Structures are given as structure tokens and as C-alpha cells.
Chains A and B, each alone.
Chain A
């Protein structure tokens, strides 16, 4: 059995709100990601998926639990290893307007990582920058320009080039296409798929657009209020969703076809998601679940493997 590239064990991230309250953004998540795969993480606002992404990539320190990289606990890394690890884990951000410093040229933006990690110098450095720009479908001419001269899709591509510049192994993509036009989203998705093949990257793809997630991911995890509700292969989750939340989520996706719409069963969730500062006792979804049982408010359901690689946390099973 090969060691997974990344493994999370009971990972927690809490934020202190004021003196007494805590926001439990990520409340005990365990799963692993294999080298070369794309793991899709879905959830709605307040689910904690963005926080999980940032904790995994190293922007936040975990409050509890541990992260293992290639089998080793990252907490045990020495300074040099920590720095290397920081380089291996890169991120692509959501907002194409806020993820690039408006005062820097594209050339400088892409070069930042190369310079900080001293990966290349002089002529070689410039060639590397041009190479990266071409890899993402831009060209040399674009290097002297500033971010505001580009469209959203182009800016996202610059962000991808910047992340690739340091030769990462793992990229966390936090809603990389949500802010883009529909016809451009496909451009960026295709680019990511191509790069994954060529560069051997592993992706954690965080999004709320289930259609795109299904398309690009090998496996999917569904989060709700800081917890993982269900996890499994993409087709399996869509064909046979076990958790009531996953079922409701899938039924809410609008399909751009008049005929297909009519065939689908609609599950409407009532109310709004509760606050992550004071989550419900037991199963966090019980307040909106149409199958809620008394035990759901008492004990948090166990994370169990129901089928090959299909995990659920629900008292129904």
C-alpha cells in the first residue's frame, strides 16, 4: 500500500471570538489524499471548507489533530523541512482581483516564488518565467503588464503560473472559478486538468459548484458545519448519495435542461444553517434533516465506511 501524499487525522481549527466564544470552523476531520488525485471538497457557506483548505496548505496553524505529509507528521519537521514543505503546498485563490498585487507586473508576480526560494537566476530565471506564462496559455508580451489590464480568467491563469513557479507537489484550489464567467470557467478547469497530467500534481479542489466538482474530482468530500458528512468516489456520490444533506444538496443543483429537470425529485431544506459558534449537539445537520431521530441530538454519528471507499457519518446507517 502506498503511503498517501497527505493525511489528516482529527484535524481541528477553532477561532477565538471575543474572550469566551469559539468558532469551530473545522471540528475533527480525518481523510487522506493520494498522489496524483483530485479531491473535491464541497459545502455551503459556514461549512469550513475554506478554513480546512487554508489549514492544510499551512496558512493557518491547526488547533488540534495532525497533518501527515508522505507519512511523516509535519509537526516533527525541522526548519529546513518546514520551508520545503511550505514550498510543496501551494494555493490558488478565489478572487482574481484580490489575489494579485495590483502594483506588480506579471513578470514580478510570477518571479516572486522563484526569487524567494532561489530557484533560478539571471537569464535562466527570465526564461523560466516565459515558460510558465506559456504553460498557462499566455505569452511573453503579457509579462510587462499589470493585473488590472487582464480579464478575470487571465488573472486566474497568472495565479496558476505563480503557484507552479516553485514546483509544488500539492495545490489547494479555493473556489478558483467561482468568480469567473461560465464560458471561461471551462478554460481554467481544462488548464488545471492538463497541468495535473503534465506536472503530476495533486489537487484539493474546494468549490460550491457541484457540477464542476464532479467533473474534475476523483473523490469528493461533503462538509457541513465543520464536519465531514460523506466521502467517496465522484460518480458514486452522485449516483448513490447516502447522507440526507448530500441528497438535498444534489437535488438543489439547477440543471440546464427542461426535460431532465422534470425527472428529478426535489428535496427542500427548511431554515438556514446554524451558526458555527454554537453548533447543534450531536449531529450538526439534525436541525434541518427530514429524517432526524432522537439519537441525532445526543450522539455525534460515527464516521464509517459503508461501501468500498464510501464513508458516511449518519445514524440512519
Chain B
């Protein structure tokens, strides 16, 4: 008896819930959450991120952990190897290397980030206008051509030349270095931005926006730039270490920031005289920091690129 009515109930028709069908069962996944998860899975990128985080933190608090200032001289304590008082040793003027290294971090990072950001801004504007104008009749093509020729000319000028020229005009220092690095650095970004825009312009949602009456500036800001964010951010992570290295190199050859301001590059320069006398800590710490920072930015940038690449999804 029981089995028969059980059976009948098993075969009872069930109402389709059509609304259920349209429901999206998965919880809202924010796009950047997915990006972060992807990076966290990439051990090397994670390492890079942690290293950068540590460096930034230390740049801020490092000098405060010791009672010495980066510029306090103590001629009697010159060139002491690392010990419990001076964790990184001292330089020939008795200045604490630990303090100077982290102070130098501030300088190098600031220059690197500032130059990179200016580069990106100029690159976005030039590349953006160029890319958007291309193909829009004769005037558009002309603007594109002029801007691209400018880019090509600047690309072929070695930046060292520009820096030296600028130094003739302006006083060497933080501002000059940043300007010098920015003037030639934006060209690669401009090219990338233009390429991206040329590609994104063909997307159907851009055509749709045109039909829907969206003005040009809004198309660029709303439809083109946000979809280039990935490339821009990734480029940042490569431009910054390049700028840091460039600054270090310039300071190393004496064209960079001037004493008493210390950047890693100047510290390396100062260390040149004493390498052969066995005072390894003078060159090691700033040199190692440059390498470490560049390494960290690069692997982090790599991981970020993989994470933001829409093709690696699904």
C-alpha cells in the first residue's frame, strides 16, 4: 500500500519555475577579487609583492629605527663594517648605512614612481588622441601622423643626451632628474596606448556607444581607457624599475641627485673608491637593493599581467 502511493507521489508532475532559470546562482564576483586570487596563487608574484611591501614600509620607518640620521657625519666612525650599532656599517664620512639605505629607498622610489606616472599620463594623452583620431577622415589621420612622427623622433634620441642637455640648463637635482626621465620615457607608453585604442575601437560596444549618442570624450573615458587599465598597470610595474635603474645609473655617473641627498645610485658611486679595499658593505647594500627592487617589480608585474589577462580565465 505504502509503496503504491509513494510511487504515485514520485511520479507527480512538478511545476517548472521559469524565474529560477534566469537566476544567476554564483555570488557576485568582483573582477578585481579574481585578479587578487590569481596573483596570490602565483608564488613568485606573491613574493615580489611582499618584497615591495617590505621595502616601502622600511623606506618609511627604516631610518627611525636607529638613532642616526642619513646625513649625520662622524668622521671618527668612518668605514666601520656592519655591527650591532650600525647594522649596515658606515660610509667614509661615518654616516650610518642603514639609515642612508632606507632614505635612499625613498629617493629612488619617489623618482621612479613619479617619472613613471608622468610618463603614463603623457603617454595616455598622446597615444589616446593619436589612436582615436586615426581613421577619422583626413584631419584625424594627419593628427595621428604628426603625433607618431614626434614619437618616433623622441624614441630615437638617447635619453642620456637629453639629461645632459637639461643639466646644462637646469640645476642638477631631484626635479631635474624626474623631468629628464619623463621627457623621453613616455614614448613607449604612447605607442602601447595607441595600439590598444586602435584595437579596442573596433569592438562592437564602441560602435554601439556611437549609435547611442555618447560623445567622443565619454567613449574614450568610459569604454576605451577602463579596458586598457590592465595594460597600463602592468606597464607601470615595468616602467618604475626602469626609471629607478635609470636614476641609479645617472647618479652613479654623477649626473643625478647631489649630496647630501642620497639615492642608491649615489651610494654606489660613493662606494666605487673603496671596493678594492674590502669594504663590501658600501657597495653591497645599495646595489642589492636596486636589484631586489627591480626583481620584485618585474615578477609582480609578470604575475599581474597573467592575472589580468582575460584569456587565462575560464
Of A30-38, A138-146, A234-242, A296-304, the one touching chain B: A138-146
**Cβ-based interface call for B64 (8 A):** no
Give the number of chain B interface residues (Cβ < 8 Å). Answer: 26
Given contact pairs A87-B213, A116-B212, A100 touches B24 in the complex (Cβ within 8 A): no
In-complex Cβ contact of B205 among A101, A139, A144 (8 A): A101
**Cβ-based interface call for A127 (8 A):** no
Taking CB atoms, residues of chain B closer than 8 Å to A98 are 203-205
**Cβ-based interface call for A94 (8 A):** yes
Taking CB atoms, residues of chain A closer than 8 Å to B29 are 149
Could you tell me the distance in whole angstroms from the C-beta of B164 to the nearest C-beta in chain A?
Answer: 42
Taking CB atoms, residues of chain A closer than 8 Å to B215 are 116
Given contact pairs A101-B222, A162-B208, A141 touches B23 in the complex (Cβ within 8 A): yes
- Which of B28, B31, B213 has the most A CB atoms < 10 Å from its CB? B213
Bin chain A's interface residue count: 35 or more
The answer to whether B211 touches A100 (Cβ under 8 A) is no
**Cβ-based interface call for A121 (8 A):** no
The answer to whether A90 touches B204 (Cβ under 8 A) is no
Taking CB atoms, residues of chain B closer than 8 Å to A146 are 31
Taking CB atoms, residues of chain A closer than 8 Å to B207 are 54, 59, 91, 93
Given contact pairs A116-B214, A166-B213, A99 touches B208 in the complex (Cβ within 8 A): yes
The answer to whether B214 touches A112 (Cβ under 8 A) is yes
Could you tell me the distance in whole angstroms from the C-beta of B86 to the nearest C-beta in chain A?
Answer: 51
Measured between alpha carbons, how far is A95 from B26 in the docked complex, in Å?
A: 23
In-complex Cβ contact of A103 among B210, B212, B227 (8 A): B227
- The residue on A at minimum CB distance from B24 is A149
In-complex Cβ contact of B22 among A113, A137, A162, A165 (8 A): A137
Taking CB atoms, residues of chain A closer than 8 Å to B310 are 102
- The residue on B at minimum CB distance from A168 is B211
- Which of A90, A103, A146 has the most B CB atoms < 10 Å from its CB? A103
**Cβ-based interface call for A290 (8 A):** no
Considering the complex, which residues of chain B in the window 124-160 have a beta carbon less than 8 Å from any beta carbon of chain A? none
Measured between alpha carbons, how far is A150 from B29 in the docked complex, in Å?
A: 12
Given contact pairs A101-B222, A102-B227, A150 touches B204 in the complex (Cβ within 8 A): no
9 pairs across A/B with beta carbons < 8 Å?
Answer: A59-B207, A59-B211, A91-B207, A99-B205, A102-B310, A104-B222, A116-B218, A117-B213, A165-B212
Which 9 pairs, one residue from A and one from B, show the smallest C-beta to C-beta distance?
A: A116-B213, A113-B212, A99-B204, A93-B204, A103-B226, A101-B205, A98-B204, A116-B214, A117-B213
